[in-house]
Structures are given as C-alpha cells and as structure tokens.
Amino acid sequence: MHKLTIATIGATFLLAIPVMSQAVHAQTSPSTTLSAEQAREENAYALGLQAFLWGYPLRYYSLSTPKGIVAGGTYINDFRRFPELKTAKDRFVVTPNNVTVDAYGTLDLTAEPVVVFVPALTEPRWYLVQIGDSFDEVARNIGGIKGPQPGVYVITGPDFAGAVPGDMTEVRLRTKIGVAAVRILAKGAADLPKAVEAQEGFHLMPLSAYLRDGLAHKPPAERPLMATNDSKAPQDLRFFDELGYAMSQRLPASADSDDTLVASFRQIGLSVGKGFEWHTLDEPTRRGLARAAKAGEQIVDRKWEAAGETANGWKYTFSGGRAGYDPGLRAALIKYELGAQLSDQVLYPNTAVDDKGEGLTGERKYVLRFDAGKLPPVSVFWNMAMYGSDMLFVENEFDRYSIGSTTDGLKPDAHGSLTILIQKDRPADTSNWLPAPSGPFNLTMRLYGPETPVLDGSYRLPAVRRMQ
C-alpha cells in the first residue's frame, strides 16, 4: 500500500478551517489554552478528517459492491455481461454510454488471485480492460490506446506472496477487493452481434479454476454477494463505522502496523483488525469525529468544484484514476466521476451551459459547430451523449441518445465544418440531430484516445451556441 503520512496530506486539511464553528474556532485560537477535553476533541477532528477523505473510496465501494455498480450486482470473480447498447430504458447506471458493450466484475482476492483472460480478436476492434482497486485508482489498463494486448493476466492482492505461474502477467492490487471492466466498441446496432461475439472471448475466474479447467470453467449457478455491514453506530458516527468495516474487508491486516496513516487511526477507534470501536470512545472524541464527517463532505464538494478546468462551458478533469496523494481529490472523483479512466485513455468533458453561461434547456435550440479541421483530435473515436437532470439518457422517438464519429450518416457542411443540432423538435434533416428533452439537460463528450492537443490544452471543444 502507499505510505500516506500526515505530512503528505496535511495541506488538504487547512481547507477545513472555514467550516469550523465560531465557538470551536474561539476555543482553539492561539490566545486560548486548550483544556484536556478540548485537545482530545481537536485531535479527533484532525484525525477524523484525514480518515474521512482517505477512506471515502473504500467506504463507497463497500456500500455499493453488495448491490453492484450496475443493476442486479456485479459478479464475484466472474464477468457480468451487458451485450446490448444502452437506451433510455436502462436505468441501472448514471451517465451511461451507448457506443460500447460492457462487462463488469468484482475481484475478490482474499483467498487467491484472479485471472483475466484477454483473447486475440479475429478482426481489429477497440477494447479496454480496466482493473482498479478499492481506492478507485487504475492499477492496469489492457488494450485501449496501446492496441491489442492478448494474454493471461493474474490479479494478486496485497497478501499474495507466491509465484505467478508460467508466462502470465501479474497485476498487483493494494486492496483485497477490486473491480474489472471490459468495454468493447460497437459501431451501431448493425455491428452489435460482432461486438458481442468479441465480448464473449473475455473471461474472469479464480486462478485455481483457470489452472484446473482453463476457459472451459463454468461458474457456480449460485453467485454469492459480498458480505454487508449492518451498522449500529450513532448516525453522526455512521460514516466511520462503515469505513471501519470496509477497512477490515479490503485492507491487509499488516496495514495496522506498517502503514503510518492507518496506524494513527487507532487513536479514534479505527483499525483493520477491529473496524470502528465507537462504543469505546469518550464524548470529546465523538464530538470531534462528528464535526469531521460534516466538514469532510463539504471539502469533497469544494474539491470537485476546483478540479480540472472549464473552457467554453466544458469542464475537464484530468486526474481520473490517479489522484495520488490528494485524498480530497480522490474522494471527489469517486463521488462525481466514479470509475474514471486515465486521461490519456478517455476524457469526459461535461457541460450544462450555453455560450452565454445560461443553463441548457429544451425550451431553446442550440448548435455545436466544429470548424473545418477542428473535430476533436482523438486516435480512436469521439461521442457526445445527452442526459437529463437525473444523469440518464433522455427518452425520444428518434431513438438517438448520443452522436459522434461512429454515427452513421453525419453530414459535414459545404466547407468541411460539422454542425450538430441540439433541440427538442425534430428538424427537417435529422442527420446531425441530437434530441433534447423539454426541460434541463447536460452533455458529456467522451474522447477516446485524446491526442496531445487535448491533453496539453491547445485544443478545447467549442461552446454550445444558442440559436437566435
């Protein structure tokens, strides 16, 4: 595991000062001597704030895994496949995309490593296998901008000390539970059968099953869910109880002694070995932790507001999958951009405003115009999806939920530019039309394989312009 220390992330917690109550601030001003009780409260507040931001992803994944990131649950050590392009009727995941067929799986490395088998496809097709840990950071990408990378990949946990068999490629996670996702390009409904055929070649299974049965392995009919935690902690301490359970399930026991930050949390009743012992804490410590939970949530939101950059109304975040030593940013990413990819693989600029800074609404008509030679510079493809205020696809009779470089029949203008019509009413020519709802909406552009001009800031998407 990464050795996060108080020193490496201490600057983050200066952000918490404004959200402290005036009474507490007065208690801790330089001219005031803290009582022993006040000192315990402030110590708990400081440690609690660190634990809140650092542990936000662990808790989030722990709460979501039993019911799955997608409807019906992800399978444990096996892929649950979704062999259809998503439509407005699919309500299982926010900000869906309908240019790939996907498969998801939960990696439980507690007992043994897990194998991800990546096939050699019979015809060229973009795919990306994303392997991540419970801190929502990408441990390995297979395929994507690197092109085909067939082979047998063995995912090992932090307690694994054995040798990887044969010529398998090891991918080590710092948590005992992780996630795997496979995304495969489907160029519309006509191409869907071939995309699904390609999807069937990707496999996920325990290492022992692969060594015994190979690709002939059949998962058990009964697929158990991850264990859950029925917290009995007081409501204002519930976050830390859920975090303590997540730590006990997802981190190695050795973290209590060899990870400086984790070891410091014993002062507030948190440990891998025992979870959260809230019933042993005195009242000053409980007060400090309750304050930390409230302040922490505000810090996460402020971190998201400050993340990345905004240009022409489009917000870009470049730190998905690798927040590193900024736990506040990592917490913000999992809250607002769960499972985000590394920026050189996929970027997800989003906008909810027009060129005048006003909110997008189906009561108006808009255009997104790319000048000749100014289409998004990507090595793979680009796609723009329409979402309602619930961040789900918008139902429409035209049955179009996104538009992009893989959309059949796009028509460039006379001089080589491309104009996309964004409106509720059906235009005479629907080639470049992206249907909008009657109320508020927002747009997410997905740039697969963004090239250097996007990454270094020399290219930015044009604003969504309101038609007069």
Q: What pLDDT shows up at residue 339?
A: 83
pLDDT tens per residue, range 146-171? 999 999 999 999 999 989 998 899 99
Strand partners, 203: 117
Q: Specify the 3-state DSSP secondary structure of 271.
A: strand
- Per 3-state DSSP, the chain is made up of helix, strand and coil in percentages (nearest 5) of 30, 25, 45
Domains along the chain with CATH numbers? 6-64+229-306 (no CATH), 75-216 (2.60.40.1610), 309-466 (2.60.120.600)
Q: What is the rounded average pLDDT for all residues in the chain? A: 88
For residue 254, give Cα distances in angstroms to 1, 6, 178, 190, 248.
Answer: 10, 19, 18, 52, 11
pLDDT at 18 over 70: no
Residue 362 phi, psi (nearest 5) = -70, -5
- Report residue 51 as tokens: 């634990």
Residue of higher predicted confidence among 340 and 444: 444
- Report the distance separating Cα 424 and Cα 5, nearest Å: 52
**447 Ramachandran zone, left/alpha/beta (phi>0; psi -120 to 50):** beta
Q: What pLDDT shows up at residue 321?
A: 79
Pairing assessment for the beta strands 346-347 and 441-450 based on DSSP bridges: antiparallel
Query: pLDDT-based confidence at 320, cuts 50/70/90?
Result: confident
Query: pLDDT-based confidence at 2, cuts 50/70/90?
Result: very low
pLDDT at 183 over 80: yes
pLDDT tens per residue, range 189-237? 788 999 999 999 999 999 999 999 999 999 887 777 777 788 889 999 9
Residue 21 phi, psi (nearest 5) = -65, 155
- Report the distance separating Cα 183 and Cα 341, nearest Å: 12
pLDDT at 353 over 60: yes
pTM above 0.95, yes or no: no
Residue 225 phi, psi (nearest 5) = -90, 160
Q: What pLDDT shows up at residue 68?
A: 43
